Structure 1
């Protein structure tokens, strides 16, 4: 690849450059950064649908807040994607160290940092569910297909964050110990995995509620 990995970011690169970097066997960017990009796509579609939606004056302020939050989330998600790519670099570097206490400590710290990075992404994705749900019920009906696509991207973000946090927590057992010990030592991160699992069910329920309108040919 011509570009150095450090020079390829979601905030400065073209889609072509960034996906080319993702396709390389470097691990940075990786699945965690991809999770951030999926969240940015969900936020962008949310913003678009909100911009095309008209409502009565009683809900105008609520709609404006959704629009503003989605706009802000798009920018935050791309930044978090780049932060996750940096965490992935540290994670990979730790595993390349020679076996021994130093390597074990580095893997432990990198795993915790990576889990925290993914957890932040997951929390932001969970926060976005309610706004997209509002648009599913009150948004411009002509854009219901875009809402379903946004739910798909949001689900990918939630699923990616859940898997990454879970995987990183499990990596803490590499130096010995059991998952139950990890759960006791990192209760907040463990609870994040559980909340993300519940969020997947919530997204699936909301999507099912409007899918018949987005894909009417399925009902023929």
Structure 2
């Protein structure tokens, strides 16, 4: 597997270059980073709906929030690439290395937190989808539906990666301290919030 350079995996690089990196055997970017990019696409589509809805203060305010959320999603994509590099390095340590367990646990917790941030962006986007589903220009209903599907995929990807990291945390936290146990509890609660948000998409107009 090629050595990953997080700076080459940034979502702000040209799309074709980013996709080339995604297709390489580096893990950075990987599925978590791709999930965040899907959320950035959802944010962009939702903002387009807002911009096509003149005369609505709600749509205008939503459009401003969506700019922030799009940037946040791209930052989350970059952060997830960095977490993926750290986790890959920990997994690559020899099993007899005495530092392996602690490094793997720390990397898994950090990876889970990265997935939570991706999921939290998605939760915020669900609220904007609700707003624009009510007040948005209905000539753009197809674009709104595409945004919903991108949002569903991004949230689903965040959950897949969060659960994978939580499995690693559970497998490598035997005998760990209270701080790690507290972190796992917080991450499990975040998993439930993200799951609920994804499920709520079916109930939105």
- TM score, norm. by length of structure 1: 0.84
Aligned residues: 199
Label 1:195 to 1:20 Cα distance change in 2 as closer, same or farther (>3 A).
same
Among residues 173, 179, 193, which one is paired with 1:195 in the alignment? 193
CA shift in 2, pair 1:136/1:183, >3 Å: farther
Residue 31 (structure 2) pairs with residue 16 (structure 1): no
1:124 maps to 2:145 = no
Task: Structure 1: state its 5+ residue gaps.
Answer: 210-220
Q: For 2:146 and 2:135, locate their aligned partners in 1 and report how far apart those are by CA, in whole Å.
A: 16
Q: What is the distance in 2 between the residues matched to 1:97 and 1:105?
A: 11
1:92 aligns with 2:88: yes
Q: 2:47 corresponds to which residue?
A: 47
In structure 1, what is the equivalent of residue 136 of structure 2?
Answer: 139
- Decide whether the 8 Å contact of 2:108 with 2:165 is kept in 1: yes
Partners of 1:124 and 1:5 in 2: how far apart?
21
What is the aligned-residue RMSD (CA, Å)?
A: 2.1
Q: 2:70 aligns with which of 69, 74, 80?
A: 74
Name the CA shift for 1:112/1:136 in 2 (closer, same or farther; >3 Å): same
Q: Contact (CA 8 Å) 1:91, 1:111: kept in 2 or not?
A: yes
Asked whether the equivalents of residues 59 and 135 of structure 2 are also in contact (C-alpha less than 8 Å), the reply is no
Structure 2 residue runs without a partner (length 5+): none
The offset of 1:5, in angstroms, is 5.5
Q: Which runs of 4+ in 1 moved over 2 A?
A: 3-8, 173-178, 181-185
1:135/1:110 Cα in 2 relative to 1: closer, same or farther (>3 Å)? same
* Partner SS for 2:99: helix
Shift of 1:71: 1.0
Per-residue deviation, 1:199: 1.2
Which among 144, 159, 168 is matched to residue 162 of structure 1?
A: 159
Equivalent in the alignment of 1:205: 203
Q: Is the 8 A contact 1:111 1:172 kept in 2?
A: yes
The 8 Å contact of residues 5 and 21 in structure 1, kept in 2 or not, is answered as no
Cα drift, residue 4 of structure 1? 5.6
Structure 2 match to 1:107: 104
Alpha-carbon displacement from aligned partner over 1:95-148 (angstroms, at most 9, x marks no partner): 000113311111100000000111011111101111111111221111000000
Report the Cα offset of residue 33 of structure 1: 0.4
What SS is found at the alignment partner of 1:128?
helix
**Cα displacement (A) at 1:177:** 4.0
Residue by residue, what CA displacement relative to the aligned partner does 1:175-219 show, whole Å, maximum 9, x if unpaired?
3649xx98765211101111111112111222xx4xxxxxxxxxx
Distance 1:74 1:134 in 2: 16
Q: Which moved more, 1:184-193 or 1:84-93?
A: 184-193
